[in-house]
Structures are given as structure tokens and as C-alpha cells.
Amino acid sequence: MKEEYDFSNGRRGPVIPQTGNKERITIRIDADIMAWFRGIVEEAGGGNYQSMINDALREHMESKREPLEATLRRVIREEMRLTG
């Protein structure tokens, strides 16, 4: 090994830049939830528990949004009820 290394041209951060639309965060998740996701991955013989958490969050997010067609039908029914 060298006695001294030159880091004058060094840069902070990851060596390989991130790609895609992922964002690195720090989050505290209950141990039982993490154990459940890790257990599912282990039962499946491998995989990525982080992707499973993303999928679960996305599914929840999308289930809370009423589709446009359903919104229009609901509004039309309400208006028809008001007019007789």
C-alpha cells in the first residue's frame, strides 16, 4: 500500500450514479413488519423485500384513488337524484 493517497480530485457520493426513479431515504419500520416481508421473500426462495414494500405501498395508494369513470358516474347519479 502507498504511504499516502491523493484524494484532491475525489468526489463524495456513490461511485455509480443512481438510475431510475428511486430515492434513497432512511425510514423506521416496525420489526414485525420487516420480519413479515423478509419471511415472504425467504419462503419464495429469494427476491427483494424492498420491492415488495414498494408494491404494497403502491397498491394501497392506488386503491385509495377513485377511477375517473367511477367519479363521473357518482356525480351524475347525485345530480340526477337532486333534479328529480
**What is the pTM (predicted TM-score) of this model?**
0.55
Do residues 37 and 53 touch, judged by C-beta distance below 8 A? yes
Model confidence over 15-67: pLDDT tens digits? 777 778 888 889 999 999 999 999 999 999 988 999 999 999 998 888 877 78
So what's the pLDDT on residue 62? Answer: 83
User: What pLDDT is stored for residue 19 in this prediction?
Assistant: 75
* Phi, psi dihedral angles at 77 (to 5 degrees): -60, -45
SS3 label, residue 10: coil
Place of cell 420480519: 35
Distance CA 57, CA 51 (A): 10
